């Protein structure tokens, strides 16, 4: 059986006379040298050891080191090649490993392995890119944390799977491929490209790094931009009190309109009546018992398809009142909808609303102020959020939001 402490040379000679209590100090110091140098054998070169006060410990090491005596607390130069010759066929590092009970220079071995793995990863990336794009792509992957993640896990299969996925993407102009079918063909697992799966995450990171997908693109849209039909059945918008024109939904029943329907649905005429657009399902859930409430919930940041469907509500004559969380994603969410539906009104999305939520809420979630976009609808909102540095979520304002939804006058409580 291979030795777990050394390269196996311990099987060629006895260690009993070397691994003793009197010599423990010597081997402990040499073990530290081996770790520092990244040399698990220590068969050449020189180093200095410092002898202990114990007479027996110094006497036992003196002969081994070719000295008449060792002075307590003084440094003694050790010729490692000479020491190796004295204990041959063993090497000083081998004895030190057994004396300390651990394998030496492990960090160096890991660094060497990591360097080799990193070079292999870069070589694989090179097959996807022209020379000029390789360094920027590598830097982008490192910033996103993928280099550390992959090399730390030593997961070569992950890189292989992700690059295989990219290799099977349809050429421009070819029909789209189903996401689950692509995953099955590339990796054997139809769920490997699901949200939060590492294969899909790395594949998207590579597509961003190689310039095929724009930075910040949502997963659904990113896959669709490279010819992959992500999922047009699940997800979408959840609505209360309003549904596509040809649907019948009993009063007071929320319903989810899937992406396939949202992409071309026609909304009923609104005649200026209010529709409240919220990010969080808890707001819609609380509004279920409000008569005539009309609420649209995006369940997070909406996709382009969902933003377009919300904008068509405005075209159909509905007055949109839009809000989101007070964080960087929520601000971008607001910007996207207000750009698509210019007459939509921000709903409780001012600096004052943020401060009110901050006062009554208990959020301690740090705000990524470096990612905040300008808030054109309220010039003070961005600077107020930056000054406080804490996110405020819709759940902090439930009573105000429900009062607005109840109000007969759509503009009575809006800011």
Coil, helix or strand at residue 363: coil
Q: Are residues 396 and 276 in the same domain?
A: yes
Q: Go through 279-308 and write b for each residue having 16 or more CB atoms within 10 A of its CB, e for each that does not.
A: bbeebbebbeeeeebbbbbbbbbbbebbbe
Q: Are residues 165 and 267 in the same domain?
A: no
Shared-domain flag, residues 289 and 167 = no
Q: Are residues 387 and 312 in the same domain?
A: yes
The model's pTM is 0.60
Query: Is residue 1, in this structure, part of any structural domain at all?
Result: no
- Residues 115-138 pLDDT 10s: 766 777 777 777 766 676 677 777
Domain of 362?
A: 237-406
Alpha helices in 288-378 (DSSP H): 304-315, 328-340, 351-360
Mean pLDDT computed over 234-255: 93
Question: pLDDT-based confidence at 154, cuts 50/70/90?
Answer: low
Of the listed ranges 234-238, 359-363, 380-384, 389-393, the least confidently predicted one is 359-363
Taking Cα atoms as reference points, which of 401, 388, 300 lies closest to residue 351?
388
Asked if pLDDT for residue 84 goes beyond 50, the answer is: yes
Which pLDDT score is estimated for 415? 43
CB 80 within 8 Å of CB 42: yes
Say how far apart CA 296 and CA 285 lie, in whole Å.
Answer: 11
Phi-psi sector, 97: left (phi>0), alpha (psi -120 to 50), beta = alpha
Q: Give the pairing type, strands 237-240 and 255-257.
A: antiparallel
pLDDT in tens, 25-75: 998 999 898 888 888 888 899 999 998 998 888 888 888 888 888 888 888
Q: Are residues 38 and 62 in the same domain?
A: yes
Structure-model confidence comparison of residues 59 and 141, the more confident one: 59
> What is the Cα–Cα distance from 396 to 391, expressed in whole angstroms?
11
CA-to-CA distance for 345 and 300, rounded, in angstroms? 19
Q: What is the number of structural domains in the chain?
A: 3
Is the same domain home to 96 and 70? yes
Over residues 168-176, the mean pLDDT reads 88
Domain-terminating residue out of 104, 137, 153: 104
What's the whole-number average pLDDT of the chain?
A: 87
- Measured over all CA atoms, what is the biggest interatomic distance in the chain, rounded to whole angstroms? 105
- Poorest-confidence range of 83-87, 227-231, 282-286? 227-231
User: Of 229, 253, 286, which one is at a domain's C-terminal end?
Assistant: 229
SS3 state of residue 326:
strand
Helix (DSSP H) and strand (DSSP E) numbers for the chain: 18, 10
Q: What is the SS3 assignment for 86?
A: helix
Structure tokens at 246: 């040809």
Which range has the worst mean pLDDT, 10-19, 70-79, 160-169?
A: 10-19
70, 1, 61: which is closest to 25 by C-alpha? Answer: 61
Q: Are residues 254 and 395 in the same domain?
A: yes
Which three-class secondary structure state does DSSP give residue 229?
A: strand
Asked whether residue 2 is assigned to any structural domain, the reply reads: no
Nearest partner of 146 among 168, 127, 124, judged by Cα = 124
- Which DSSP helix (H) or strand (E) runs through 346? strand 345-346
Tell me which residue has tokens 């930056």: 386
Provide, rounded to the nearest whole percent, the portion of the chain with pLDDT above 70: 93
Answer whether residue 263 is part of any domain: yes
Using the predicted structure, report yes or no on whether residue 411 has a pLDDT greater than 50.
no
Q: Are residues 270 and 395 in the same domain?
A: yes
Q: How many CA atoms lie within 13 A of 9 on its CB side?
A: 17
3-state secondary structure of 230: coil
- Which of 104, 123, 138 corresponds to the end of one domain? 104
3-class DSSP assignment, residue 232: coil
Same domain, 134 and 99: no
In a domain, 295, yes or no: yes
**Residue 77 predicted with pLDDT over 80:** yes
Each residue's pLDDT tens digit, 191-233: 999 988 888 988 888 888 878 888 878 888 888 888 898 878 8
**pLDDT over threshold 60, residue 273:** yes
- B/e letters for 371-408, b = 16+ CB within 10 Å, e = fewer, are ebeebebbeebbebbeebebbbbbbbbeebbbebbeee
Is 261 among the domain residues?
A: yes
Same domain, 248 and 158: no
pLDDT at 153: 58
Residue 287 lies in a domain: yes
Give the model's confidence band at 160: pLDDT under 50 very low, under 70 low, under 90 confident, else very high. confident
| Mean pLDDT score, 278-284 | 93
- Comparing 275 with 88, which gets the higher pLDDT? 275
Is residue 4 situated within a structural domain?
no
Q: Are residues 246 and 370 both part of a single domain?
A: yes
Rg of the chain taking only CA atoms, in angstroms: 33
CATH number of residue 365's parent domain: 3.40.1360.10
Does 381 map to a domain? yes
Same domain, yes or no: 241 and 224: no
């Amino acid at each position: 059986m291979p030795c777990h402490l050394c390269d196996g040379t311990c099987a060629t000679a006895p260690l009993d006379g070397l691994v003793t209590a009197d010599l423990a100090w010597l081997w402990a110091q040499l073990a530290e040298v081996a770790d520092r140098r990244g040399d698990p054998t220590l068969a050449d070169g020189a180093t200095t050891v410092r002898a202990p006060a114990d007479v027996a410990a110094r006497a036992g090491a003196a002969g081994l080191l070719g000295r008449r005596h060792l002075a307590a607390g003084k440094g003694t130069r050790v010729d490692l090649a000479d020491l190796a010759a004295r204990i041959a066929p063993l090497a000083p590092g081998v004895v030190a490993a057994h004396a300390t009970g651990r394998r030496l220079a492990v960090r160096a071995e890991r660094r060497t392995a990591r360097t080799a793995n990193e070079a292999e990863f870069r070589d694989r990336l090179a097959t996807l890119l022209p020379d000029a794009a390789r360094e920027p792509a590598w830097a982008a992957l490192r910033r996103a944390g993928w280099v550390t993640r992959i090399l730390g896990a030593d997961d070569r299969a992950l890189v292989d799977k992700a690059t295989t996925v990219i290799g099977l993407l349809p050429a421009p102009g070819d029909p789209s491929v189903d996401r689950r079918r692509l995953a099955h063909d590339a990796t054997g697992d139809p769920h490997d490209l699901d949200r939060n799966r590492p294969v899909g995450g790395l594949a998207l990171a590579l597509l961003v790094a190689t310039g095929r997908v724009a930075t910040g693109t949502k997963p659904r849209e990113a896959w669709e931009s490279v010819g992959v039909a992500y999922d047009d059945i699940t997800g979408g918008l959840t609505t209360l009190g309003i549904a596509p024109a040809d649907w019948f939904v009993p009063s007071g029943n929320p319903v989810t309109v899937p992406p396939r329907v949202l992409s071309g649905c026609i909304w009923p005429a609104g005649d200026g009546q209010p529709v409240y657009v919220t990010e969080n399902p808890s707001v819609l859930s609380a509004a279920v018992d409000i008569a005539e409430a009309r609420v649209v919930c995006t369940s997070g940041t909406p996709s382009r398809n969902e933003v377009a469907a919300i904008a068509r509500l405005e075209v159909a004559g509905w007055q949109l009142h839009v809000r989101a969380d007070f964080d960087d994603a929520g601000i971008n969410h607001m910007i996207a909808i207000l750009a698509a539906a210019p007459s939509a009104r921000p709903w409780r999305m001012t600096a004052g609303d943020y401060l009110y939520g901050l006062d009554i809420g208990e959020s301690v979630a740090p705000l990524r102020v470096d990612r905040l976009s300008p808030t054109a609808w309220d010039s003070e909102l961005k600077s107020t959020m930056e000054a406080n540095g804490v996110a405020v979520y819709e759940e902090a304002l439930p009573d105000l939001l429900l009062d607005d939804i109840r109000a007969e006058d759509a503009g009575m409580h809006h800011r």
